[in-house]
Structure 1
Amino acid sequence: MSMEEVKQSNIPSVWSSEHALAWHLGKDFRSDTNAWATAKCIEWDRKEEKLPNFMEEITDCPCTLAQARADTGRFHTDYGCDIEKGSVCTYHPGAVHCVRAIQASPQYAAGQQCCYDSMGTQILTHDSTGGSTPDRGHDWGSPPFLNPPRIPGFSHWLYDVISFYYCCLWSDNCHVYMKRRPSSDCRTYRPPRAASAFGDPHFLTFDGLNFTFNGQGEYVLVESDLTSLRVQGRTQQGRFPNGTGAQATGLSAVAMQENSSDVIEVRYSEDLNLEVLLNQKVVNFSEQTWMDLKGLFLHSTPDHNITVMFSSGSGVEIRGNGGFLTLTVLLPERFMNHTQGLFGVMNGNTEDEYTFRNKTTISVHASPQQLFEFGANWAIENGTSLFTYDTEFLLNNFFHGEKHNASFLPVFFPYEDPADPLVKEMVLLCDSDPFCRFDVLTTRSLHVGISTRLSHQNHKLLVEHLEPVISCGWLDHPVNGRKNGTSYLLGSTINFTCNQGYELTGSKERICEVSGAWSGETPSCVLSTAIEQLILLGSVFGIVGLAVLARLTFLCRKERHKGNQKLTSEIPDISEQESRKVQQSF
């Protein structure tokens, strides 16, 4: 037996009597499949009732398909429903794409699934059996991986997959399954913030500022005291097409770690191929695209785009582009006011974006020379580097050398010579993109300019997709009625109608407003005869009430009149009394 076979034989495993091939299990299945599956479904439902409610702690779904595909730090493609591969979506009719939460929930190790239709709207199980269904067992499991629901693959299959077969595929009891696996909408979802660096490094911060810092060395891109997140970047001098050195730099390596996680480094090798290092050793992605590592997941696409997803929900994407690396960092909302470095202070306030280590700041209108000083201030300090120095070039230039090369001075204001043929091509290529024009002029390479423009466009599109969206939450149809519409985001309109023989009370139309609440009142459908009877009774009571009121008014007036007559008869005439007094006095 080879050493590799010995290693494979020591993989932890569990034994279970559960089996997906139900037709092998006995005569009861073969004699009445529906009855057998129904019994299994009911048994699963009873067990579910005794288990804790995992829905309260799973992360909420993104509101739109665009958000779901952009939030790569927290969600990844569900390969059973992938828009990039034709959207088969066998188990989610009506969906074109689904995503799953990357991290299992903290206490119950549960997972989240979110599915979207062709309009980019989330599908809810309240409206369709093709809706998003969360998972009691996360497909990738969760440490310590020993017991359900934490066992990778099996726990998800046991709690969420075979039960779907019992209830939805082998019997007509899908309502039972959906009752236990209702979709969560997006009312509490908060998209992450994105920052990027690309080209002759241009930095686009979390709060939306952009600047160019083309120093040579190793620098803190972002670090956070919240989770001890550190993302560091190395820049190297660019080259002109003829091979000579240019007064420009670009990202050549990025290294990262969070808390005590594994260290991931992505870099250009000497032959300009993209290399991934795990704890300073090169990783081979030839046989797998996903790696479940300590404190993070690592994913590589066929075109060698690398995504690192940390347990906090922060994500880092690295792509090789034009000889320089393009980097994007995604941070969840809880990192607000907990970042520093070249990507700035993530707090929605651009005024403090250029903050030095000593907490002093410079103006957002600072000159390129001042910004160069700001960038140099964030050079990695000795002993804090996450990078690997495994070649003579790296040792001499970065390990033994200064972390910021103070002797390297870049071009701050590249000159556009109208007579230069390259400038004419640059104008056609770059149009008004300032980063593209800058890089063509500093590197004399249209290829670099194309890569820079594409990276800039991708970042702007990413930020657009991650814009917050207001959701008013799911609306039910009235009993004995229907609703028209399954979108519950800002501006969505839901119309209500009643079945024949019923009349609608309340609002016929409700609109999702900017406050996050629905306009109007909850509609109801009441029997038409009941409404007619109500109107008739109202009329009768109205007439009777008027008659009673009239009678009471008449009696009151009559009594008042009698009282007045009695009072008049008892009071003598004042003038007569006075007359008698006068007569008696004489």
Structure 2
Amino acid sequence: MGGRDFVILTTIFNTSSVVKCRFNKEIVVNGSVDVYGRAHCVSPLLYETGRIPIEVSVDGGSTYPHSGTWLSVHPGKVSESEKCTLVNETKWQYYGTPHYGGSLTVHWNPDMLKTDLVDIEVWGYTESGEPYTATWSPSWKYLYTLVHKHLNNGDFTFIPKPAAAEHRVFEFGSLRIVPSKYDDGEWNIHSIWSVDHAMAWHLGEDFRKDSAGWARDKCLKWHASDKKLPDFLSEIIDCPCTQAQSRADMGRFHPDYGCDIDSGSVCTYHQGAKHCVRAIYGSPKYAAGQQCCYDERGIQVLTSDSVGGSTPDRGHDWGSPPYRKPPRVPGFSHWLYDVITFYYCCLWSHNCQYYLELRPSSDCRTYKPPKIASAFGDPHFITFDGVNYTFKGKGEYILVSSNKSLVIQGRTQIVKYANGSASTVAGFSSVAMQEGSSDIIEVRLTEDLVKVEVLLNHEPLSFNRTWIDLKGAFLFYGADKRVTAMFSSGAGVEVSGRGRFLSINVLLPEEFMNQTQGLMGVMNNNPNDDFTLRDGRVLLTNLTSEELFQFGADWAVTNDGSLFTYDSTWLIDNYQVKHDPNFFPTFSVQENPSDPITEDMKIVCGNDSFCRFDVLTTRDLDVGIATLMSHANYKNLSQSLQPVVSCGWLETPKNGKKEGTCYLYNYEVIFTCNTGYILVGSYSRKCQADGTWSGQTSHCVSDNTLGIVLGCVFGFLTLLILLILIALHEKKHSKKKEMNVPSVSFHQIKDA
């Protein structure tokens, strides 16, 4: 949203320099040089997220000799200290509706602005032109100022008054706090923004007198307009069936910051839900988003059963490349098409059926979980098709190479014993990855094996927030030294620092079937071909450890294909040869009851063979514990990603009730009817293994209706029986007449 004053620290400039900063080769803002010779600029509104090219000029824009990148982030991901807030955020969004009024208070961090007096402005957002055409453009506009020359003390309390008529057409926007020395609405100046929000508090008396009626009219107009826009529901990804699946499918879904069970957010827009996720990438054509919400049982909440259910988005909340053309503007387009419209229909009036008709929950009947492969410890591999093996080479190797242009490489490093001597054990110390022309992401352990370092295109990346938008990828830095890369194909790569090694989990969606090769195998549900060499030859699955060593060596990285960073003499000298033929690892080890570490190993590892092996080869229980945790993490993810059968939503019968809102295998739904009605069909229906419901469709019919129907049926049957009896009687009578007819000779006929 712009307004951040930043300082260029690496160069000292002449105080007389005329500084300009150019973003994305086109947006130019004025800068300055302070008394210390440091150049300052203020970031502009960018309408997009990710790393933006920035260039700096000191000659008034004639040349731009200095360059770098600027990280633009979604407004919702900005820290609380960097934005201002309205007090009681559950009330200002209803301000002006019955029972909600009074004063509002703005809070901000006064240290963010080095000034004594501030102005607080109101800005609004709208879009114009023909939807989904080149004429469709965004507009971010200054509306008016709430207060001039207010003391920069971090608080301002006011009683909202209706804005001028021309400003009330902007129903959502933000507050901006700026130093009072600037003109009203001046662009690209140092400022603090609030989160974008529904500005009910500035709407007119017509809204305040009859907010429900006003909102109903808005809802109906939106409903008619949105129905004419292209259908986006058919191209968005289907929701995972369970919360466990949604949290494990880390390459395609990420927690919704507005309803995240880990952060304790309150799920304001999804009452009854405990956790929601969003599809990470917008749909291919319309940049639409998917949202999936789950209750305390971890079962999906559908809007067909509750207004708190999952709702897809015409505009993905995080935007979608190519940015800056609606509905691809991060946050703003989503508010315009999917959030303020929810206010009209569901929060400010009781017409939610119109909203949910056009934003229905996606169930999970077509959802297919990704396949997972893992590598950890000394290093042990579990392929996409479930083959377990250990490859103990020292060098750089291809873990995954796919026809979809995804490449994941791993570097192993020799582990040293406690006394400093080299062991015959190697583990992963670095993982590098790229998909197509995306940024290259590398996650590696520091040389002391204590910290995890992330490199972006071979340069160290500083994490000042947990979520970073990159070219062709998103990057999430979580707890426990865990880094997750999410690529546009839906591939997810989780790298964790565990003990002396890195642990790697790779999740690939179904589109990668028969598209992979490398140490993590051929993903095709056939474990027999996972040991496939570069030249296509397939080795048997019952290989010895020595034969597995040769298989792994075949997948060594080539010099011209390496994604790794070589930023020290030590690394260059050690990895000129991508597979060290002189390193002879310990292929097997025997458990010796007299070995003093054996008893502790049994206590720590239990029956986990990977853990036991690593303890004995490294003589380090901590290594075994790390291996045990990595293996357990893989098993938990694998279990969470097991396919789940869904039979689809069942409708509540008219004039009846439905008990049960889970539509997964083995769950039962029970139907009852209201007083005065009788159930026709099945009382209960159970989701079966083939994805169909047992029983018959349930209906509730009134007692009178049932009597009439039964009477009609009985009358019809009675009439039918009478007709049959009459027909039989006539047939019998006709037969008797035939028997009594006198015979006539041929001669009589001839004479006649």
The verdict on a shared fold, with TM-score over 0.5 as the criterion, is yes
1:438 has 2:613 as partner: yes
1:282 has 2:460 as partner: yes
Q: 1:269: Cα distance to partner?
A: 1.7
Counterpart selection for 1:253 from 430, 446, 471: 430
Change in Cα spacing, 1:549 to 1:133, as seen in structure 2 (3 Å) is same
Amino acid at match of 1:439: D
- Distance across 2 between alignment mates of 1:184 and 1:547: 54
Partner of 2:590: 415
Tell me the number of residue pairs that the alignment of Structure 1 and Structure 2 aligns. Answer: 567
The structure 1 segments of at least 4 consecutive aligned residues displaced by more than 4 Å after TM superposition are: 1-7
Deviates more, 1:370-379 or 1:555-564: 555-564
Amino acid at match of 2:708: Q
SS at the partner of 1:536? helix
Of Structure 1 and Structure 2, the greater helix share is in 1
- Distance across 2 between alignment mates of 1:422 and 1:3: 56
- Distance across 1 between alignment mates of 2:222 and 2:722: 65
* Map 1:390-405 → 2, pairs under 5 A: 390-398=567-575, 401-405=576-580
SS at the partner of 1:219? strand
Counterpart selection for 1:357 from 525, 531, 534: 534
TM-superposition CA deviations, 1:50-80 (whole Å, max 9, x none): 2111111000000111100100000001122
Amino acid at match of 1:327: I
Q: 1:551: Cα distance to partner?
A: 3.1
Q: 1:289: Cα distance to partner?
A: 1.3
Q: 1:12: Cα distance to partner?
A: 2.2
Q: 1:527: Cα distance to partner?
A: 2.2
* Map 1:378-389 → 2, pairs under 5 A: 378-389=555-566
- Distance across 1 between alignment mates of 2:415 and 2:719: 96
SS at the partner of 1:567? coil
Partner of 1:204: 382
Counterpart selection for 2:46 from 12, 18, 26: 12
Q: 1:571: Cα distance to partner?
A: 7.5
SS at the partner of 1:276? strand
1:561 has 2:595 as partner: no
- Distance across 2 between alignment mates of 1:440 and 1:94: 47
1:264 has 2:389 as partner: no
Q: 1:264: Cα distance to partner?
A: 0.3
Partner of 1:110: 288
TM-score (norm 1): 0.94
8 A Cα contact 1:199 1:452, kept in partner: yes
Deviates more, 1:268-277 or 1:36-45: 36-45
SS at the partner of 2:631? helix
SS at the partner of 2:239? coil
- Distance across 1 between alignment mates of 2:720 and 2:493: 75
Deviates more, 1:254-263 or 1:520-529: 520-529
- Distance across 2 between alignment mates of 1:183 and 1:558: 68
Counterpart selection for 1:194 from 351, 372, 386: 372
SS at the partner of 1:462? helix
Amino acid at match of 1:240: Y
Counting aligned pairs with the same residue, the percent is 54
Partner of 1:584: none
Segments of 5+ residues of structure 2 without an aligned counterpart are 9-30, 32-39, 48-138, 142-169, 173-197, 747-752
8 A Cα contact 2:257 2:265, kept in partner: no
Amino acid at match of 1:9: S
Q: 1:479: Cα distance to partner?
A: 1.8
Partner of 1:473: 648
* Map 1:105-184 → 2, pairs under 5 A: 105-184=283-362
1:53 has 2:178 as partner: no
Of Structure 1 and Structure 2, the greater strand share is in 2
Q: 1:241: Cα distance to partner?
A: 1.8
Q: 1:538: Cα distance to partner?
A: 2.9
Amino acid at match of 1:479: K
Amino acid at match of 2:490: G
- Distance across 2 between alignment mates of 1:2 and 1:373: 53
8 A Cα contact 1:482 1:497, kept in partner: yes
Amino acid at match of 1:26: G
Q: 1:162: Cα distance to partner?
A: 1.5
Partner of 2:114: none
SS at the partner of 2:397? strand
Q: 1:514: Cα distance to partner?
A: 1.7
Partner of 1:328: 505
Deviates more, 1:143-152 or 1:549-558: 549-558
Counterpart selection for 2:244 from 50, 60, 66: 66
SS at the partner of 1:85? coil
SS at the partner of 2:714? helix
8 A Cα contact 2:377 2:623, kept in partner: yes
Partner of 1:92: 270
Change in Cα spacing, 1:563 to 1:125, as seen in structure 2 (3 Å) is same
TM-score (norm 2): 0.73
SS at the partner of 1:503? strand
1:347 has 2:524 as partner: yes
Higher RCO, Cα 8 Å, sep 6+: 1
- Distance across 2 between alignment mates of 1:173 and 1:73: 36
1:538 has 2:663 as partner: no
8 A Cα contact 1:87 1:95, kept in partner: no
Deviates more, 1:265-274 or 1:373-382: 265-274
1:523 has 2:698 as partner: yes
- Distance across 1 between alignment mates of 2:210 and 2:505: 55
Deviates more, 1:8-17 or 1:252-261: 8-17
Counterpart selection for 2:496 from 319, 333, 339: 319
SS at the partner of 1:238? strand
SS at the partner of 2:426? strand
Q: 1:389: Cα distance to partner?
A: 0.2
Amino acid at match of 2:140: W
- Distance across 2 between alignment mates of 1:24 and 1:358: 69
Change in Cα spacing, 1:511 to 1:136, as seen in structure 2 (3 Å) is same
1:23 has 2:204 as partner: no
Partner of 2:72: none
TM-superposition CA deviations, 1:436-457 (whole Å, max 9, x none): 0111111110000000001111
- Distance across 2 between alignment mates of 1:441 and 1:189: 43
Change in Cα spacing, 1:566 to 1:64, as seen in structure 2 (3 Å) is same
TM-superposition CA deviations, 1:449-508 (whole Å, max 9, x none): 000001111111111111111111111112222222111111121222222222222222
TM-superposition CA deviations, 1:342-399 (whole Å, max 9, x none): 001111111111111111122211110100110111000120000000011111101x
Partner of 1:303: 480
- Distance across 2 between alignment mates of 1:489 and 1:64: 9
Amino acid at match of 2:518: G
TM-superposition CA deviations, 1:265-311 (whole Å, max 9, x none): 011122332110000111100x2111111111111114331000000
Amino acid at match of 2:278: R
Q: 1:526: Cα distance to partner?
A: 2.0
Q: 1:2: Cα distance to partner?
A: 5.9
Q: 1:11: Cα distance to partner?
A: 4.1
1:234 has 2:359 as partner: no
- Distance across 1 between alignment mates of 2:504 and 2:240: 23
Deviates more, 1:404-413 or 1:20-29: 20-29
Q: 1:558: Cα distance to partner?
A: 2.6
Partner of 2:393: 215
Deviates more, 1:476-485 or 1:370-379: 476-485
Change in Cα spacing, 1:38 to 1:559, as seen in structure 2 (3 Å) is closer
8 A Cα contact 1:23 1:30, kept in partner: no
1:464 has 2:639 as partner: yes
8 A Cα contact 2:288 2:314, kept in partner: yes
